[in-house]
Amino acid sequence: MKDMHDIIIRPVLTEKGLEKVDEKCYVFEVPVKATKTDIKLAVEAVFADDGVKVEKVNTARTIGKMRRQGRTQGRTPEVKKAYVTLKKDSKTIKFFDGMSQ
What is the pTM assigned to this prediction?
0.86
Asked whether the beta carbons of 90 and 101 are under 8 A apart, the reply is no
Domain extent listing, the chain: 4-87
The one-letter amino acid at 62: T
Q: Where are the alpha helices (DSSP H) in the chain?
A: 4-7, 15-19, 36-46
46-99: pLDDT as tens digits:
998 888 999 999 999 999 999 999 999 999 999 999 999 999 998 888 888 777
Distances (CA, A) of 46 to 26, 43, 99: 14, 5, 20
Q: Which CATH architecture has domain 4-87?
A: 2-Layer Sandwich (3.30)
Distance CA 42, CA 73 (A): 36
